[in-house]
């Protein structure tokens, strides 16, 4: 109940942030712009819509998640609201989890709105809904949950700028995870092999959430794969939040 | 009486890059009894807020220990017994007082029915019943301070920690908050009252600690701190010139208050007896006699400028 109270207040505060609304408007424009490109690409129209739409959803989702995550706890400290919150019988982990859930709810609303525009465009072009595109939106949301958890974790010990840099860095590393593992596996150095393997466990593998090629080619995605990806995202987020809770527990505010 | 707050050698310092210490609180040992209003005074940066943060578990002590209701500070369970009003507080300004109290009530682990009942009660007490549906962004500083007091009281805590509760308020706002605090004191709440507004502290507190540059300089009851040892003040009514000249020999000073009354200051009980005898032998009347007191401000200035612990 305490985490729920924190989540609801955080959600209400998040959806009032003007910068988020601006990002959302830009996302709509970006996703909608795919309609312009279709005149130049002949039969590839629908692929263009899907490609640009998914890219827009991911890029603006990343911006929203990173922005929300990095400011979630530092803003409370800066505004000194954290004093009254922590003067109540609340554990610091509850604060981290509650605030994270509120931000996650805000990200969900943003993804749903962007997803609605995206699906609307597909429907406009194909006169049918693409279930794989819907799965891609769902997986993007769970991918963003991990990004949000990363940003929150970094913000508990690093400055805002450093949190953003670290989140972007680890997102890029995590998005190249499979390639890194492949290269590491081919290396002659046993030390590098171990390092790359360890790295693989520590950094979330964002490629798991990527079903872009299936969406573009209209291939089916097994339900079990989606379920596994969702569970992976949830577990990784939970692990990150525990780490964030530990850092926040040690932090003097 | 049981100790509500106890600190032993509480110290907070920071080490800079070169290993030099910056001490913000040094070896603080205080105790606050049940039902007591304890003033914690000092100039800005004296260590008052550091002490509060240590008591709330927001900071960790570098040395020493502190307990609230015999439990180590930072214990989550003990926080239900504490109500905290920070200095210059900020709250989610898109919430109404009702929503804000509901939020803090939930954080305190209260159920919806209890929150509703308590919110109604508190909004009435702090005089914000009429503004319960108004967003906090539309509130004045005084109203924010009152809603802050309401959130501090939501779980009906036994101990109130108030950090500069009246600073930044206009005189009327200050009186309102002071009256509220006096009411809470009457109800038996223990209060740690931190302020640099000394007249407020003098009016509200039973006992005071003076802190400066992290060091506790003086602690005692108002009586102990403010009365000037041995000196007494006597008000004599119906005096004449001859009487005053006789009293003058036994007194330190005489101030004529009006055509009827004069204030006589003496430096010992023996001289007080002499004045009493002189007054008895005349047509004048001794209206009052009390230990001579200085203001907390005078004491504070002398202690802080002197800078010596005692």
Chosen domain end from B213, B236, B267: B213
Are B139 and B198 part of one and the same domain? yes
A251 to chain B, any CB pair closer than 8 A? The answer is: no
Q: A95 vs B141, which has greater pLDDT?
A: A95
- Please judge whether B76 and A91 are an interchain contact, meaning their C-beta atoms are less than 8 angstroms apart: yes
Whether the Cβ atoms of residue A110 and residue A61 lie closer than 8 Å to each other: yes
CB atoms within 10 A of CB A223: 9
Provide the shortest C-alpha distance from residue A18 to chain B (in Å): 14
What contacts A24, CB < 8 A, 6 or more positions away? A60, A64, A110, A113, A114
Whether the Cβ atoms of residue A46 and residue A118 lie closer than 8 Å to each other: no
pLDDT of residue A42: 57
Are B208 and B240 part of one and the same domain? no
Looking at the 3D structure of chain B, how many domains does it have?
A: 2
**Which residues of chain B make contact with A16, given a CB cutoff of 8 A?**
94
Per-residue pLDDT of chain B (310 residues; tens, 9 = 90+): 579 999 999 999 999 888 888 999 999 999 999 999 999 998 888 999 999 999 999 999 999 999 999 999 988 889 989 999 998 878 999 999 999 999 999 999 999 999 999 999 999 988 899 999 999 999 988 889 899 999 999 999 999 999 999 877 888 888 888 998 999 999 999 999 998 888 889 899 999 999 999 999 999 998 888 888 788 999 999 988 888 988 988 888 899 988 889 999 998 889 999 999 999 989 899 999 988 888 888 888 888 776 544 4
Chosen domain end from B213, B248, B271: B213
pLDDT tens digit sequence for A53-68:
999 999 999 999 999 9
For residue A200 the two structure tokens come to 């693989």
**Which residues of chain A make contact with B148, given a CB cutoff of 8 A?**
84
Are B149 and B288 part of one and the same domain? no
**Which residue is closest to B103 within chain A, CA to CA?**
A5
**Which residues of chain B make contact with A88, given a CB cutoff of 8 A?**
79-80, 104, 107-108, 155
Helix, strand and coil content of chain B, in percent to the nearest 5, comes to 35, 30, 30
Of the residues B107, B110, B115, B119, the best mutation for testing chain A's interface (the one with the most A CB atoms within 10 Å of its CB) is B107
- Please judge whether A87 and B109 are an interchain contact, meaning their C-beta atoms are less than 8 angstroms apart: no
pLDDT of residue A172: 93
**Residue span of the structural domain in which B287 resides:** 225-295
**What DSSP string describes A103-160?**
HHHHHHHHHHHHHHHHHHHHHHHHSS--HHHHHHHHHHHHHHHHHHHHHHHHHTTS-H
Of the residues A17, A88, A92, A94, the best mutation for testing chain B's interface (the one with the most B CB atoms within 10 Å of its CB) is A88
Nearest CA-CA partner of A21 in A114, A90, A91, A102: A114
Provide the shortest C-alpha distance from residue A82 to chain B (in Å): 9
Give the containing element (helix H, strand E) for B292: strand B285-293
B255 vs B62: CA distance, rounded Å:
53
- Please judge whether B56 and A4 are an interchain contact, meaning their C-beta atoms are less than 8 angstroms apart: no
Q: Which of B59, B84, B102 sits opposite A84 (nearest CB)?
A: B84
**Which residues of chain B make contact with A79, given a CB cutoff of 8 A?**
90
ipTM for the predicted complex = 0.88
Are B207 and B260 part of one and the same domain? no
Q: Which residues between 85 and 144 in chain A have a beta carbon less than 8 angstroms from any beta carbon of chain B?
A: 85-91
Are B102 and B229 part of one and the same domain? no
Q: Which of B56, B95, B106 sits opposite A86 (nearest CB)?
A: B56
**Which residue is closest to B157 within chain A, CA to CA?**
A88
- Edge-to-edge strand ranges of the sheet holding B227-237: B253-256, B261-266, B227-237, B285-293
A118 vs A128: CA distance, rounded Å:
13
Q: Domain for residue B9, yes or no?
A: yes
Mean pLDDT of chain A: 91
Nearest CA-CA partner of B182 in B164, B202, B209: B202
Q: Domain for residue B250, yes or no?
A: yes
For residue A113 the two structure tokens come to 């709105």
Are B113 and B157 part of one and the same domain? yes
Mean pLDDT of A16-23: 93
pLDDT of residue A47: 85
- Please judge whether A252 and B60 are an interchain contact, meaning their C-beta atoms are less than 8 angstroms apart: yes
Q: Which of B58, B77, B86 sits opposite A252 (nearest CB)?
A: B58
**Which residue is closest to B54 within chain A, CA to CA?**
A252
State whether residue A204 is helix, strand or coil. coil
- Please judge whether B106 and A84 are an interchain contact, meaning their C-beta atoms are less than 8 angstroms apart: no
- Please judge whether B90 and A91 are an interchain contact, meaning their C-beta atoms are less than 8 angstroms apart: no
Residue A55 burial (C-beta neighbours within 10 Å; 0-12, 13-18, 19+): middle
Are B229 and B202 part of one and the same domain? no
Are B58 and B110 part of one and the same domain? yes
pLDDT of residue B309: 44
Q: Domain for residue B220, yes or no?
A: no
Provide the shortest C-alpha distance from residue B235 to chain A (in Å): 49
Q: Domain for residue B275, yes or no?
A: yes
Are B174 and B242 part of one and the same domain? no
Helices (H), A15-130: 18-32, 34-37, 45-71, 74-78, 81-86, 92-126
State whether residue A52 is helix, strand or coil. helix
Nearest CA-CA partner of B78 in B148, B1, B182, B161: B161
Q: Check pLDDT > 60 for residue A229.
A: yes
What contacts A138, CB < 8 A, 6 or more positions away? A226, A230
- Between the alpha carbon of residue B235 and those of residues A136, B98, B239, B250, B275, the distances in Å are 89, 53, 10, 14, 11
Whether the Cβ atoms of residue B192 and residue B56 lie closer than 8 Å to each other: no
Q: Domain for residue B184, yes or no?
A: yes
Write down the pTM of the prediction: 0.86
Are B229 and B178 part of one and the same domain? no
State whether residue B248 is helix, strand or coil. helix
Chosen domain end from B151, B184, B213: B213
Q: Domain for residue B266, yes or no?
A: yes
What contacts B281, CB < 8 A, 6 or more positions away? none
Are B248 and B275 part of one and the same domain? yes
A189 vs B168: CA distance, rounded Å:
66
Are B126 and B266 part of one and the same domain? no
Q: Which residues between 13 and 72 in chain A have a beta carbon less than 8 angstroms from any beta carbon of chain B?
A: 13, 16
Q: Which of A1, A5, A79 sits opposite B90 (nearest CB)?
A: A79
Report angle CA A177, A245, B157 to the nearest 5 degrees. 160
**Which residues of chain A make contact with B109, given a CB cutoff of 8 A?**
1-2, 89
**Which residues of chain B make contact with A95, given a CB cutoff of 8 A?**
none
List the CATH number of the domain containing B269: 3.30.70.100
For residue A162 the two structure tokens come to 């450093």
- Please judge whether A89 and B151 are an interchain contact, meaning their C-beta atoms are less than 8 angstroms apart: no
Whether the Cβ atoms of residue A101 and residue A182 lie closer than 8 Å to each other: no
pLDDT of residue B1: 55
Domain spans, chain A: 2-250
pLDDT tens digit sequence for A147-186:
999 999 999 999 989 999 999 999 999 998 888 877 777 7
pLDDT of residue B310: 41
- Please judge whether B86 and A1 are an interchain contact, meaning their C-beta atoms are less than 8 angstroms apart: no
List the CATH number of the domain containing B109: 3.40.50.300
B219 vs B42: CA distance, rounded Å:
12
For residue B231 the two structure tokens come to 């000196």
Helices (H), B47-170: 48-55, 97-107, 112-125, 141-152
């Amino acid at each position: 109940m305490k985490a729920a109270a924190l989540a609801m207040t955080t959600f209400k505060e998040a959806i009032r942030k003007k910068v988020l609304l601006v990002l959302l408007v830009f996302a709509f424009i970006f996703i909608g712009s795919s309609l312009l490109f279709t005149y130049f690409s002949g039969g590839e129209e629908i692929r263009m819509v899907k490609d640009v739409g998914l890219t827009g959803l991911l890029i603006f989702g990343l911006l929203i998640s990173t922005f929300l995550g990095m400011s979630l706890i530092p803003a409370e400290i800066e505004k000194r609201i954290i004093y009254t919150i922590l003067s109540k019988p609340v554990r610091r982990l509850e604060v981290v989890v509650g605030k994270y859930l509120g931000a996650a709810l805000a990200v969900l609303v943003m993804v749903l709105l962007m997803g609605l525009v995206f699906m609307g465009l597909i429907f406009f072009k194909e006169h049918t809904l693409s279930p794989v595109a819907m799965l891609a939106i769902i997986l993007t949301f769970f991918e963003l949950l991990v990004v949000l958890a990363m940003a929150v974790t970094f913000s508990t010990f690093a400055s805002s700028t450093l949190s953003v840099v670290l989140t972007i860095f680890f997102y890029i590393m995590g998005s190249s995870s499979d390639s890194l593992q492949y290269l590491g596996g081919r290396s002659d150095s046993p030390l590098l092999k171990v390092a790359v393997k360890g790295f693989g466990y520590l950094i979330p593998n964002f490629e798991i959430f990527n079903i872009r090629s299936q969406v573009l080619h209209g291939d089916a995605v097994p339900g079990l794969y989606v379920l596994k990806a969702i569970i992976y995202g949830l577990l990784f987020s939970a692990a990150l939040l525990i780490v964030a809770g530990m850092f926040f527990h040690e932090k003097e505010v | 009486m049981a100790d509500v707050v106890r600190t032993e050698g509480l110290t907070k310092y920071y080490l800079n890059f070169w290993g030099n210490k910056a001490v913000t609180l040094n070896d603080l040992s205080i105790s606050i009894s049940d039902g007591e209003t304890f003033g914690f005074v000092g100039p800005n940066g004296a260590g008052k807020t550091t002490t509060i943060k240590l008591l709330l578990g927001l900071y960790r002590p570098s040395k020493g220990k502190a307990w609230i209701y015999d439990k180590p500070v930072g214990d989550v369970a003990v926080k239900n017994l504490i109500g905290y009003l920070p200095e210059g507080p900020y709250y989610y300004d898109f919430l109404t007082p009702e929503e804000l109290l509901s939020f803090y009530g939930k954080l305190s682990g209260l159920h919806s029915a209890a929150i509703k009942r308590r919110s109604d009660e508190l909004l009435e007490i702090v005089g914000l019943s009429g503004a319960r549906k108004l967003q906090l962004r539309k509130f004045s500083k005084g109203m924010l301070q009152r809603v802050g007091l309401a959130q501090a009281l939501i779980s009906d805590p036994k101990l109130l920690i108030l950090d500069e509760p009246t600073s930044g308020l206009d005189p009327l706002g200050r009186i309102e908050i002071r009256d509220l605090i006096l009411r809470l004191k009457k109800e038996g709440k223990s209060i740690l009252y931190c302020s640099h507004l000394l007249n407020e502290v003098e009016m509200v507190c039973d006992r005071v600690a003076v802190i400066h540059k992290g060091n506790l300089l003086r602690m005692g009851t108002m009586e102990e701190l403010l009365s000037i040892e041995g000196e007494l003040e006597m008000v004599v009514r119906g005096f004449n010139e001859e009487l005053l000249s006789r009293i003058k020999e036994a007194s330190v000073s005489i101030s004529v208050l009006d055509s009827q009354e004069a204030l006589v200051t003496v430096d010992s009980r023996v001289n007080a007896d002499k004045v009493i005898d002189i007054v008895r032998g005349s047509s004048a009347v001794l209206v009052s006699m009390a230990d001579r007191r200085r203001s907390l401000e005078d004491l504070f200035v002398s202690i802080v400028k002197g800078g010596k612990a005692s």
